[in-house]
């Protein structure tokens, strides 16, 4: 089976464009209008999907972690739990944003961090479910999400190769709709931490799985390189303003950066082109001018047996290629040739 996944009406394969996910996360700060603004920005910039994060906070965190003090510039609540609740959307907000996304022609889904969130997203009817790097080792959650039949996109930040294999082996028997993203769990991730060659490792190790990149870097070059290595899903965090309070804004792409990324990926796909080496029609005129053909080096009579000295190699290249020279030396002429006349196989005995 070839590497292929279908998200909504979009089929993602080796021959397709990169499928770009605009990761909004909680950069909306709990404001549904800001989330809508980010979805509009993503759609206008050409992204294929906009994504949130869904947590059932009281089910997800221990009471001690939920009640842990959480203060500072990026906090939306006095404790970690109240902070998380402040930036969490419920069913009404999700339905509103899903309807907006449908109107804009952009896919809409989320990362599920727990079992109730998988159920929530399945009931919403999302076209894909993301599993975050922190849950790559959470095989019960992977299995639960895979059994929904909804395509899964799994990030692999902070994992070992054995853990990645275990995750793929968990999901593969349950669904063939799986994508695996190379990821570095650093925020931001500098170029020396990206290890984009892992993309090639994944493609070789998991030939039935679509491979991609979840990039926490602030540039677009890594995504372009990832595409050339075979990544067909690119996930990047987005924001309206990198200076806003919140833990993710500073490494997210603003609208101009996202448009630049989309344009760069499109140029890269077109530049990679076909793997078949052939002369293109656009090259014909230049090659006629620059390449060479075999011609008579002097006036030659009927019956003369060609020697190397009788043959010249000259432009334009609209005749017998020079690599035929060994084939024609030693053969007699059936017709006379003047200096610079093209030598043709039909004129030789």
Partnered with residue 282 across adjacent β-strands are none
CA–CA distance, 44 with 153 (Å, rounded to integer): 23
> Of 250, 272, 294, which residue constitutes the final position of a domain?
272
Identify whether residues 203 and 296 lie together within a single domain: no
Identify whether residues 215 and 289 lie together within a single domain: no
Contact (Cβ atoms closer than 8 angstroms) between residue 120 and residue 54: yes
Identify whether residues 121 and 221 lie together within a single domain: yes
Is 289 exposed, middle or buried, given 0-12, 13-18 or 19+ CB atoms closer than 10 A? exposed
Identify whether residues 324 and 217 lie together within a single domain: no
Identify whether residues 216 and 94 lie together within a single domain: yes
Q: What are phi and psi of 130, to 5 degrees?
A: -95, 140
> Residue 74 above 80 pLDDT?
no
- Note the pLDDT of residue 1: 43
> Residue 228 above 80 pLDDT?
yes
Identify whether residues 205 and 333 lie together within a single domain: no
Where is pLDDT greater, at 292 or 88?
292
> Of 247, 272, 297, which residue constitutes the final position of a domain?
272
What dihedral do alpha carbons 158, 142, 52, 101 form, nearest 10°?
A: 140
- Note the pLDDT of residue 56: 92
Identify whether residues 82 and 197 lie together within a single domain: yes
State the total domains in the chain.
Answer: 2
Where is pLDDT greater, at 25 or 178?
178
Contact (Cβ atoms closer than 8 angstroms) between residue 84 and residue 26: no
- Note the pLDDT of residue 2: 56
Please state, for a pLDDT cut of 70, what percent of the chain lies above it: 99
- What DSSP assignment string belongs to 228-265? HTT--EEEEEB-S-TTSSSSSGGGSB-HHHHHHHHHHH
- Note the pLDDT of residue 71: 85
Identify whether residues 15 and 56 lie together within a single domain: yes
Domain of 339, CATH number, reads 3.90.1210.10
Tokens of 18: 């990169």
> Residue 85 above 70 pLDDT?
yes
> Residue 194 above 90 pLDDT?
yes
pTM metric for this prediction: 0.88
Out of 20-34, 90-104, 203-217, 244-258, least confident range = 244-258
- Note the pLDDT of residue 80: 86
Identify whether residues 285 and 266 lie together within a single domain: no
Domain of 294, in residue numbers: 281-347
Mean pLDDT across the chain: 94
Identify whether residues 223 and 339 lie together within a single domain: no
Identify whether residues 23 and 110 lie together within a single domain: yes
**Half-sphere CA count of 307, side-chain side, radius 13 A:** 3
CA–CA distance, 236 with 22 (Å, rounded to integer): 6
Check the CA dihedral 66-67-68-69 and report its sign: positive
Identify whether residues 260 and 300 lie together within a single domain: no
Contact (Cβ atoms closer than 8 angstroms) between residue 199 and residue 230: yes
Mean pLDDT of 49-75: 90
Give the strand pairing for 311-314 and 293-296: antiparallel
Domain of 193, CATH number, reads 3.20.20.70
CA–CA distance, 110 with 123 (Å, rounded to integer): 13
> Of 222, 241, 272, which residue constitutes the final position of a domain?
272
């Amino acid at each position: 089976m070839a590497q292929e996944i279908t998200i909504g009406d979009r089929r993602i394969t080796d021959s397709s464009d990169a499928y770009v996910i605009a990761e909004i996360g909680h950069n909306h700060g709990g404001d549904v209008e800001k989330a809508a603004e980010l979805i509009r920005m993503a759609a206008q910039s050409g992204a294929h999907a906009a994504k949130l994060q869904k947590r059932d906070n009281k089910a997800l965190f221990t009471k001690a972690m939920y009640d842990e003090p959480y203060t500072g510039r990026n906090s939306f609540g006095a404790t970690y739990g109240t902070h998380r609740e402040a930036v969490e959307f419920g069913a009404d907000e999700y339905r509103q944003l899903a309807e907006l996304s449908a109107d804009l022609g952009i896919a809409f889904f989320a990362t599920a961090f727990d079992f109730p969130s998988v159920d929530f997203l399945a009931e919403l009817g999302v076209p894909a479910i993301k599993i975050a790097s922190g849950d790559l080792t959470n095989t019960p959650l992977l299995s639960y999400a895979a059994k929904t039949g909804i395509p899964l996109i799994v990030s692999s930040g902070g994992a070992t190769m054995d853990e990645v294999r275990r995750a793929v082996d968990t999901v593969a028997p349950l669904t063939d709709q799986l994508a695996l993203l190379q990821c570095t769990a650093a925020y931001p991730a500098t170029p020396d931490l990206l290890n984009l060659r892992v993309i090639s490792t994944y493609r070789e190790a998991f030939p039935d799985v679509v491979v991609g990149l979840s990039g926490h870097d602030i540039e677009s070059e890594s995504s372009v390189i990832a595409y050339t290595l075979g990544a067909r899903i690119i996930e990047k965090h987005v924001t309206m303003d990198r200076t806003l309070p919140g833990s993710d804004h500073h490494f997210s792409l603003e609208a101009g950066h996202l448009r630049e990324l989309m344009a760069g990926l499109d140029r890269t796909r077109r530049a990679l082109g076909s793997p078949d080496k052939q002369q293109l029609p656009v090259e014909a005129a230049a090659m006629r001018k620059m390449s060479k053909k075999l011609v008579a080096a002097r006036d030659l009579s009927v019956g003369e047996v060609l020697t190397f000295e009788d043959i010249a190699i000259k432009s334009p290249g609209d005749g017998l290629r020079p690599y035929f020279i060994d084939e024609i030396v030693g053969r007699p002429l059936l017709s006379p040739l003047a200096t610079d006349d093209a030598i043709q196989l039909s004129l030789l005995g």
